[in-house]
Amino acid sequence: MDGSRVVLTIAVVGVMLLVSLLFAMKMFITSHDQSYNIRELPEARIRSVIDVYRERKQINEDTAPSNTCYEPKMFHPVMILQNRTRGFDYRAATYKLNAEKVAMDDGRLLSLIRNYWLQNPSLLQYKFYDNRIDYSSGQSSLVDNLLNNKERGFYVECGAYDGETQSTTLLFERYRKWQGLLIEPDPMNFHKLMLKRRMAFILNACVSPYPYPVMMRLARRGLYSRLEANTSQSYTFVQCFPLHSILLALDLQAVDFLSLDVGGLEFSILQTMPLKSTHINVISVSCDHCSDKNETDLQSFLKDNQYNLFTKLENYNMLSKDLIFHRN
């Protein structure tokens, strides 16, 4: 009887060892297969602009006239809730604040900008007359590389014209899913901008070269409209807001790319900004009207505010010069 129990015990232990061995082998094979499959998976990557362009070009060829761009939107933009009162004369209220020369962070000013002056992004499909990758003079591609092809960033373009011609931000919106803010003071240019249906907040005003809101005279020259104190050409008076006030009105915590092309007032505008406490990654400054001293002073000022000159772009055909700065 004792011998039978010994044999039975040995048999049970043997079966248990065999089951454990088989289970261990199965786990080893499964683990090996899983690790192999992970290594075989293609690495996640950001799609190149060229790939997206080819895809969008096919969409446009199927739905629109030759080389135009009526493509649908690829993401849903963030909107702001605007609290407007019917019949309220917001322009008169703004003129009153102009006379007071209120501070850039005045609550009344921020409320007027947010609720009455800004317009939310369009949800309608784009309507461009040209279908290309980079609409700028090269700034967009350089900044895209500088920011490592970042997706879902935020841009601000001051001097947006019609939102397409020579746009420094359209590449980011169409190919990197960025949202942004487009500022254009000329009423006729602004009307053209609205027709493009950009995925951006839009503002029909100028950027003030002073740390307070003000009305200024705008010489109307189409793409080359600019603020001038005295001009014999066709002009109109436009409302101007400090850039810092506009960013505060949108409650922006960070800006990835700021593009300034405002006909010679770029340096004055930057001097109104608390750059050390405002997080802006890259700044592109049009320097078409800069003297050598202006350019040196601009670089020195931005260096004191933690920005280094990344590159200088000069287009001799278009007589343009742009300086691109990157935050340290």
Segment 230-247 mean pLDDT: 85
Q: Which domain holds residue 192?
A: 49-327
Give tens-digit pLDDT for 134-146. Answer: 989 889 999 999 9
**What's at 20, amino acid-wise?**
S
Return the pLDDT at 223: 57
Check whether 257 has a pLDDT greater than 90.
Answer: yes
The answer to whether residues 178 and 81 belong to one domain is yes
* CATH label of the domain that carries residue 112: 3.40.50.150
Q: Does 200 share its domain with 244?
A: yes
The verdict on 321 and 220 lying in the same domain is yes
Same domain flag for 205 and 226: yes
Residue 75's pLDDT is 87
| pLDDT at res. 320 | 78
Q: What is the mean pLDDT of residues 287-309?
A: 92
Q: Which of 229, 231, 237 is nearest to 206 (CA)?
A: 237
The reply to whether 161 and 21 lie within a common domain is: no
Average pLDDT of span 158-169: 94
Q: Of 9 and 175, which is predicted with more confidence?
A: 175
Going 92 to 98 to 103 to 104, the CA torsion angle's sign is: positive
Q: Verify that 180 and 277 share a domain, yes or no.
A: yes
Q: Are residues 21 and 145 in the same domain?
A: no
Q: Kindly state the percentage of the chain with pLDDT values over 70.
A: 73
- For residue range 57-90, what is the model confidence (pLDDT) as tens digits? 555 555 555 556 677 788 889 999 999 999 999 9
| One domain for residues 55 and 24 | no
- In the chain, how many domains are there? 2
Mean pLDDT score of the chain: 83
Q: What is the pLDDT of residue 137?
A: 86
Q: Where are the alpha helices (DSSP H) in the chain?
A: 2-40, 49-63, 90-100, 107-112, 139-146, 170-175, 187-196, 243-249, 266-271, 292-304
**pTM score > 0.75 for this model?**
yes
Q: pLDDT by residue (tens digit) across 282-297?
A: 999 998 878 889 999 9
pLDDT at 33: 39
Q: What is the pLDDT of residue 22?
A: 56
Instruction: Assess whether 94 and 54 both reside in one domain.
Output: yes
Residue 172's closest CA among 153, 157, 158? 153
Are 243 and 282 in the same domain? yes
**Pairing mode, if any, of strands 307-315 and 320-327?**
antiparallel
Q: 219: how many CB neighbours lie within 10 A of its CB?
A: 19
Tokens 């094979």 found at: 29
User: Are residues 267 and 195 both part of a single domain?
Assistant: yes
- How far apart CA 213 and CA 242 sit, in angstroms, is 6
Q: Are residues 39 and 155 in the same domain?
A: no
- pLDDT digits over 314-326, tens only? 876 656 789 999 9
Pairing relation of β-strands 235-241 and 279-286? unpaired
pLDDT at 253: 83
Q: What's the one-letter identity of residue 52?
A: V
Q: Which pLDDT value is given to residue 264? A: 86
Give the closest residue to 255 by CA, choosing from 285, 275, 271: 275
